[in-house]
Amino acid sequence: MIDTPSTMRPAFLSNPDKLHFIDGKWQPSATSEAIQTFNPATGKVLATLARGGQADIDAAVSAARRAFEGPWSRFTPHERYALMLRVCDVIERNFDELAVLDTLDMGAPLSRTKAMKEGLLKTIMYFASQAMNWSGATIPNSLAGNYTTLTIKAPIGVIGGITPWNAPLISMWWIMGGALATGCTAVLKPAEDASLTTLRTAELLTEAGVPAGVINVVTGYGAEVGAALAAHMGVDRIAFTGSTVTGREIIKASAGNMKRIQLELGGKSPDIVFADANLDKAVPGAAMAVFNNSGQICSAGTRIFVQRSCYEEFVARLVAFTNTVRVGDPFDPAVQLGPLVSERQLDRVMTYMAIGANEGARLAAGGIRLTGELSEGYFVAPTVFADVGNHMRVAREEIFGPVASVIPFDTAEEALRLANDTEYGLGGAVWTSSVGTMTRMIHGIKAGKVWVNCYGLADPAVGFSGVKQSGYGVKGGAQHVDGFLYEKSVCINGD
Ligand code: ADP
């Protein structure tokens, strides 16, 4: 059994119960009910979380509204910017603890969570830079008379942020960053499987000087506290990252007060490898595009389309690479993949392994739950299904595990037809040395983000959004910040 060293247990975990963080203070649930969160590497209880409900959401939304209308509304852009630099400093100083918490809570190797430091700090700094960078416009008009017309932007109000468990360290910042940069306030509902980093971050923000009530965190189950937040009449906008099924529920729940919504949902992204690609890069690149974070990434390149003339060679090299990927104790620096986040996710992934085999796909690597010293955690071997048909369930449904489906194609037209034959449109990639092929794929792939000869890279200044059932609303870039603002048009009579 994996034994996490006690030196790796942040003091934060020793607090007896993790409560909601509302109005700058720890507060128990109105019902005093609790839920447990598990360490997925050991299957053991890691911490007890408050099980929130309607009353807790009411309290958090009221606190967020009071904060929105209080002194926070009078912070100048420069004051918000300076505050965010202090936030960045506090997060940097406490980063190692946050990385350990995420690793314990959702299982990603510590090498991975620690490597997120630069990207996280860049993200906070990017949003800090935006605090002084949003504006309206003065627009010439054709009205008869002495009129001046302009637009001004204003913060939209209280943001409800519902986040997933696959990368809490960074996910929360798509809400906190936008809120702090614009003068909005937020109530976050982290995933029940991985809430600790968000709770600790909220506490750290207070240390940095973020006023009470600006960022609140309520924990609990999605169907209870998440649904209450999504439907709350005091919430002006919901930012949600999660499954397409839940995304639909969020849209329905938003109807009561016409909330604005940003959704990043599921994916089944195509990764297209042409015979003229540099396979030394394409093989590990396409493999890790599926396996990174144990396949628990919305934009993972789970359908690998390979041109037939290099198909057999690619599959052989992919299998050889897959068999070298180290899965195990997330605290072992040599380990590349940790466990899946939960027993539920393990069951789901194992079910798809069986479905792939029953559908007639060729299991070329993996396909098993790992045992021995890993048997008490939720570990699976990285898996390759070859000779997959794009109609098979393993090629159509989001598995959210380290399972690659490899599909042959002959021509660029066929590759595009198959790549776009999906209900999703989150990401996509092409590996080729031809500028012509690259250009056709960039224009042809129907997805919010396309990578060329690489996969998964992201920069906070470069926004992206899904198409089709992968959601809408931009994450990152100036348009992301714009989502936290509304526009007023103003007409001034100068006479
Ligand atoms: P997954 O199935 O991968 O856990 P979900 O979409 O269910 O993905 O979860 C993403 C986030 O949405 C989590 O924070 C979860 O608690 C929350 N959630 C789940 N169901 C609902 C719901 N009906 N309303 C609002 N939030 C929900």
Residue nearest to atom 27 of ligand 1 (CA): 222
- Identify whether 298 is a catalytic site residue: yes
Q: pTM for the complete prediction?
A: 0.97
Asked whether 265 lines ligand 1 (CB < 6 A), one says: no
Q: How far is CA 199 from CA 67, 71, 189, 292, 313, in A?
A: 19, 23, 10, 25, 48
Torsion of CA 67, 68, 72, 76, to 10 degrees: 180
Q: How far is the CA of 5 from the centre of ligand 1 (A)?
A: 31
Arithmetic mean of pLDDT, 274-282: 98
Active site residue 264: yes
**Mean pLDDT on 387-392:** 98
Element spanning 60, H or E:
helix 54-69
> What is the chain's mean pLDDT, rounded?
97
pLDDT of residue 291: 98
Average pLDDT of the residues in 237-246 = 98
What does the angle CA 103 – CA 105 – CA 109 come to, to the nearest 5 degrees? 20
| Among candidate residues 210, 213, 215, the one with its CA nearest the CA of residue 88 | 210
Q: Which atom of ligand 1 is nearest to the CA of 220?
A: 16
Rounded mean pLDDT, 5-21: 77
Quote the tokens at residue 70: 């209080």
- Name residue, tokens 């995420």: 102
Split at pLDDT 50, 70, 90, the class of 16 is: low
Please tell me the residue having the least CA distance from ligand 1 atom 15.
222
Check whether 14 has a pLDDT greater than 60: yes
DSSP result, 269-324:
-EEEE-TTS-HHHHHHHHHHHHHGGGG--TT---EEEEEGGGHHHHHHHHHHHHTT
